[in-house]
A and B are shown apart, each in its own frame.
Chain A
């Protein structure tokens, strides 16, 4: 049984939200059912709109590396030094691990 999660300051009952969502999904589906029929387009009609450009799947594929472009571009002054730390040398990674672990132990142990 899913009860109410109480944190001492707030609360959440997943069950009530799910029930509410179920009722709302039915209402929305009711409105949705008044819509026109769904057609799986094929041929030229089924191709994605690309402002009249030729659709070549390999060339129009948006790479996963672009996902956070705006974010990484904004914070590049933060990311650039971090990228520099990624040398590909396992000795460097182990050194980083030891340094960070030492800092954590000092902080956790109290200065």
Chain B
């Protein structure tokens, strides 16, 4: 009973942290993006004001929309994306650390995108349909290099440790690969990190890969008919998904903590590691989202599909081969 109660409270805390820091990161991203373009930009708390305003607005449902799908998908989307955080170490052990592995996370990451596609299709808008189709094309394109990157790392880890939970993110983050591989392995890991940093903005549909929404072209695409609280849910989904993706990069490549260098009590150490984790996730978001979306213009969907299926996939396979060479040489 106490265990269930702890799990429920833990889930509530994770939901709060995910949404809160997701919105904070969104605010910082917008502020930095504006400064990079020599603008003042909105205050960092702007995303909170956006959500509040959206919650105050009327929730309009188009005449020909499929009501239940249109209204259910935003809720399911936000709930499913927060559920991924239950498996990811956020500077402390995840709540469901022994109940799911990285393969599960890989599949769960598809859920918010599927909710978005279904919601878009259910809205009866041609723009949303085009956006949904583009999102599907992106999904089937980035899954392969993403899977190669993750599997390559875990496979290399499985050659070092013969334990039954090698695929769990908790184990991976407790045993970073950097100091356990040779020169080929190091080059391979740097390449795989590069691939993951490229896949991150694609997974998040951020510029230059925001073709499913593309405001200036298809007027918001998938979200064109969404308003009020439904749009607020998708807005928060986007914020939490950013935290999720950055957390996965951190857990895979930069899982180190700094609490061991201090002589504080256990709880203060948790706070220190969590604060350090927030800094690391911010660094990933800065590189993968803020700088990328400031530096590049939007690509076309066929250019994105080509980029993912040819150069990015080949690069990830090269990373995999280098990790393989590291085991045989």
Contact = CB atoms under 8 A, between A and B. Distances in A.
B294 interface: no
Interface of A is mostly: mixed
Contact of B168 (A10, A16, A41, A43): A10
A88 interface: no
Contacts of A62: 126, 129-130, 133
Interface stretch (B26-34, B197-205, B258-266, B301-309): B301-309
A49 B305 contact: no
Contacts of A32: 74-75, 229, 233
A42 B141 contact: no
B314 to A, nearest CB: 14
Interface string A1-30: 000101111111100110111011101110
Contacts of B228: 35-36, 38
B312 interface: no
B11 A17 contact: no
Using C-beta atoms within 8 Å of the partner chain, give the interface range for chain A.
35 or more
Interface residues of B, number: 74
A34 B55 contact: yes
Interface stretch (B60-68, B180-188, B285-293): B60-68
A98 to B, nearest CB: 31
Interface string B62-95: 1110010001001110111011001000000001
Contacts of B56: 35-36
B134 A70 contact: yes
Contact of B136 (A4, A36, A47, A68): A68
7 contacts: A10-B165, A13-B99, A24-B82, A36-B55, A36-B57, A47-B62, A48-B127
Interface of A: 4, 6-13, 16-17, 19-21, 23-25, 27-29, 31-32, 34-43, 45-51, 60-62, 66-71, 73-75
